[in-house]
Amino acid sequence: MLLDTPLCDFGWKSPSFELPDIDGKLHKLEGYAGDKGTLVAFICNHCPYVLAIIDRLVEDTKTLQGEGVNVIAIMSNDYDAYPDDSPENMKKFSTQYGFTFPYLVDETQAVARAYDAVCTPDFFGFNKNLELQYRGRLDDAKMGDTSNRTPELLNAMRQVAQTGNGPQDQSPSMGCSIKWR
């Protein structure tokens, strides 16, 4: 089911969380709160929308990390019903695409609910105070055509890093619904 994310609720404070990564190591949000901002991305392994953007997402997040913005990815789908999203497959997926950020398992789906995440991909860009400043799409590329894209997420997070505020004009991310238990 195709969904769009809601508009950005500027200043919404990120709820704290502690989740395991694909190797079972626990990660707290506060440990990733960057001096220039933090990106929390809800993704999964099987969604065609994630698969269509994953190379660009990894490239853009490497750039952001190099500029001092921290990145965390969270997989909240019911992986019992969708085994492609299991922790074992998350590990393969993150290796295949060269993730340079932690890929966390939200098995209870409590974090997705706390964030009101609706789809994969769903991006939450926070300033250094963990106040929401971006809830939009990765870029304006059409499925399969990335030749002339505007990297909206990258540009927004650069703005957040420099000013603490995100752009007023944001286009919602589009993707498959989170697979709730």
- Cβ(140)–Cβ(152) below 8 Å: yes
Q: Is the pLDDT of residue 80 over 90?
A: yes
What is the predicted pLDDT for the residue at 100? Answer: 98
Q: How far apart are CA 159 and CA 39, in angstroms?
A: 13
The mean pLDDT of the chain is 95
Report the run of H or E that residue 39 belongs to, with start and end: strand 38-42
Nearest Cα to 29, choosing from 87, 111, 94?
Answer: 111
Tokens of 95: 């290796």
Strands 70-75 and 38-42: parallel
Q: What residue ranges define each of the domains in the chain, with the CATH number in brackets? A: 2-14+30-142+149-177 (3.40.30.10)
Res. 39: pLDDT tops 60: yes
Q: Which residues does 95 contact at the CB level (< 8 Å), separation at least 6? A: none
Query: What is the token pair recorded at 31?
Result: 């440990």
Q: What is the pLDDT of residue 143?
A: 67
Single pTM value for the model:
0.96
Contact assessment for residue 83 and residue 89, using Cβ atoms and an 8 Å cutoff:
yes
Q: What is the pLDDT of residues 119-158, one digit of tens each?
A: 999 999 999 999 999 999 999 997 666 778 999 999 999 9
Is-contact 10 133, C-beta < 8 A?
yes
Q: With contact defined as beta carbons under 8 Å apart, do 162 and 136 qualify?
A: no
CB 71 within 8 A of CB 39: yes
Question: What's the confidence (pLDDT) of residue 73?
Answer: 98
CA distances to 58, 94, 142, 144 from 52, rounded to whole Å, are 12, 15, 9, 7
Q: In what order do the strands lie in the sheet with 103-105?
A: 103-105, 70-75, 38-42, 122-126, 132-134
Q: Judge whether 31 and 57 are in contact, CB under 8 Å.
A: no
